Amino acid sequence: MDSFPAHDIIWTGSYTADSGGSGTGIGAVAAAEDGTLRWLGVAAAADSPSFLAAHPLLPVVYAVAEHARTVRAYRRAGAFGLEPAGPAWPAGDAACHVAVEPSGRFLVVCCWGDGQVLYYELDADGGIMDRAAAAGSRDPYRGASGGAQRPSRAHAALMLADGRVMTTDLGHDLLRIWNVRPGPVPGLVLDHEVVLPQGSGPRHLVQHPGGHVFVVTEYSIEVAVAAMSPSSGDFRLGFVGPATAGGALPGDSAAEIALAPDAGHAYVGVRGSNRISALEVEAGGAALRPVADVPSGGDWPRHHLVRDGWLHVAHERSGDVVTYPLDPETGLPGSPSGRLRVASPTALVPARARLTPRE
């Protein structure tokens, strides 16, 4: 039987029949140095494990089950398999994102359906052992336009370099910054919030090594930069600009944002027109400038991964992962170099984390 080092495996999330997809669970893909991807098989049968996170130190993977409203830990078994490591824990409605703290102390789950942000404490083996709900969100634009009350839509969590946690609320146009509460009743305590333009829909986010946080907005197809004050530690909204060089098109919705290893470029996926936009990082991370849009190579680029000079794009609707080489000088994607069939892929997560630029 073949064996693969952890860093050569990419786990794939998917939508299964309960969510209208054709996947069957968490998949395993072998990644070669030349960018080639090879399907290994289903690592664990699961219902719509739409987003995944790998433990930074242990062979453990966490998956949210979006339709079943749960989160579960899986431990590596055999060459590329995963087996449940404890029971499924309850989450919220349409749990859509999970992120693990860099030392493996806890994870955070965001729930699109009801806006919940949930904290799960982890034991020394990476198992889930406790759960706490964070404070709910209040719409900062409530009553501003006289329309109906907008629902909270928590969508993603980012572990900040200073130990805090930042989450997006797509429905309330908010970035929420949390302190981690230790002690006998651990959890998340709200520190402050950053309000984005009304209707922008902050979705996913990544932190530049200089400390700025880049946020892609699903509805307005923009990138926003949140800058931290050196004196107070509070974030404030700085730059907001277009996410694409060619502008947003009817039916577009932005998806993932990823950072190049040298932090000189960011890459945004746009569903609808099915593009990947490359943006140049300017002013030490204070601004982003779109420089080129390229076809994503499939239908509905839900998620993408930058790895070892390659860009892998997961297309939910066309059922494939398309690979592009990244020019080491310009940072721009070249011509597609490969296509791997994967049923309804929704996330691409390396089995073992690479060092980030700030590390």
Distance (Å, whole) CA 245 – CA 182: 44
The answer, yes or no, to whether residue 183 has pLDDT greater than 90, is no
Q: Are 65 and 49 in contact (CB under 8 A)?
A: yes
Task: Tell me the pairing of strands 187-195 and 202-207.
Answer: unpaired
Residues 147/135, Cβ–Cβ less than 8 Å: no
Contact 166, 176 (CB under 8 A): yes
pTM of the model: 0.95
Q: Would the pLDDT of 1 be above 50?
A: no
Instruction: Assign 184 a pLDDT band (cuts: 50, 70, 90).
Output: confident
CA-closest candidate to residue 297, choices 317, 322, 328:
322
pLDDT-derived band of residue 325, with 50, 70 and 90 as boundaries? very high
Report CA Rg, the chain: 19
Residue 261 C-beta-side C-alpha neighbours within 13 Å: 13
- Of the pLDDT bands very low, low, confident and very high (cuts 50, 70, 90), residue 358 is very low
Checking if the pLDDT of 191 tops 50, the result is yes
Q: How many CB atoms lie within 10 A of CB 135?
A: 12
Quick one: DSSP state of residue 219?
T
Instruction: Please tell me whether residue 216 adopts helix, strand or coil conformation.
Output: strand
Find the mean pLDDT for residues 229-250: 96
Supply the pLDDT for residue 359: 35
Q: pLDDT class for 7, splitting at 50, 70, 90? A: low
